[in-house]
Amino acid sequence: MTLQQLKYFIAIANNGSINKAAEQLFIAQPSLSASLKELERELNLELFFRTSRGIDLTVEGIEFLGYARQVVEQTILLEEKYLNKKPSKRLLSVSTQHYAFAVNAFVNMVKITGAEEYEFTLKETQTHEIIEEVKSLKSELGILYLNDFNAKVIGKLLKDSGLVFNKLFNAKPHIFTSSKSPLAKKQSVTLLDLNDYPHLSFEQGENNSFYFSEEILSTESRRKAIKVSDRATIFNLMIGLNGYTISTGIVSSDLNGEDIVSIPLQVDDTISVGYIVQKSISLTAQARLYLEELKKVVREFGVTVSDKIS
């Protein structure tokens, strides 16, 4: 097993295609296929299986990818430090629920990385998709919340997927709405206060279970409800229809301007926001940098953040 084989394997996993990886690496597809077969033969493992979309990692391939990334990352650091080699392209993929603070932290991470080359991915997506992306190592980190209602179901899914949840902070529920909404005049709101306003939530596609909802109180009946697929749309509907959504209370004026406000919601519940990772795989330096920036952003809102990073 060589370092080159590990780099080839990582490129195939990142692209989900031998052809695309070969193009990226500027080598012939047959040569890349032969290298992969030789690696699998040496390990006595099947690392990929074919699908209608291309190729996906097997369970053994997912575990091996985690170790391969660590070996390659540490080798690169040694080469940069002791052989004065040009810094390599920085890589990181994050999947998250629709949180502005996650985007803020991503912006900060990119700015301070200082790399000449990088390839980063930030994907705001559905809850079940976040879990699947981290499970298959298409994303190194996933950001989502747990509370008393969904913790048992999602916790079991994470355990069955070989993932762990690391809490970043706890938040009391708030609503987000337009600064011009009649609700914005209140110091706090009750569920009764919200009756006449459209409830806005993020649709969850085929996995549209109450437990995968991004908003707490997902089982509550609403007279007016609108589902959306992205954060820009939900903010437009807040402004255009005086709609509201329920979240952490952390709203970024840097990204969203002064049009959206946060108001405490009088309910007995707590939102625990955290990140999910593969249980047996250590985080890369780039992922750790992102988490540090995430904690800094959240602290700016006066929120107590866990200092532990797995």
Whether pLDDT at 15 is above 80: yes
Is the pLDDT score of 53 beyond 90? Answer: no
Strand ranges in the chain using DSSP code E only, listed in sequence order: 48-51, 54-57, 90-96, 118-124, 141-146, 163-171, 174-178, 199-202, 225-228, 244-247, 260-264, 271-278
Average pLDDT score over residue span 70-75: 84
Report the top-level CATH class of 3-167+276-299.
mainly alpha
Percent of the chain with pLDDT over 90: 62
Instruction: Kindly report the backbone phi and psi dihedral angles of residue 187, in degrees, each rounded to the nearest multiple of 5, phi listed first.
Output: -75, -30
**Selection from 291, 301, 307, 295 nearest residue 174 by Cα:** 301
Inform me whether the pLDDT recorded for 87 exceeds 70. Answer: no
Superfamily (CATH H level) for 170-271: Periplasmic binding protein-like II (3.40.190.10)
Q: And the tokens for 116?
A: 């000449």
Which residue type sits at 230? D
Domain(s) labelled CATH 3.40.190.10 in the chain stretch across: 170-271
Which pLDDT tens digit goes with each residue over 225-266? Answer: 999 999 889 999 999 999 999 999 898 766 566 889 999 999
- As annotated, the residues of the chain forming the CATH 1.10.10.10 domain(s) are 3-167+276-299
CB 172 within 8 A of CB 186: no
Q: Which residues, in sequence order, are CB contacts of 216 under 8 Å at separation 6+? A: 147, 149, 173, 246, 267, 269, 271
Rounded to 5°, angle at Cα 62 from 61 and 64: 60
Could you give the residue ranges of the DSSP H alpha helices within 44-140? 59-82, 100-113, 127-135
Q: Pull the structure tokens for residue 82.
A: 């002791």
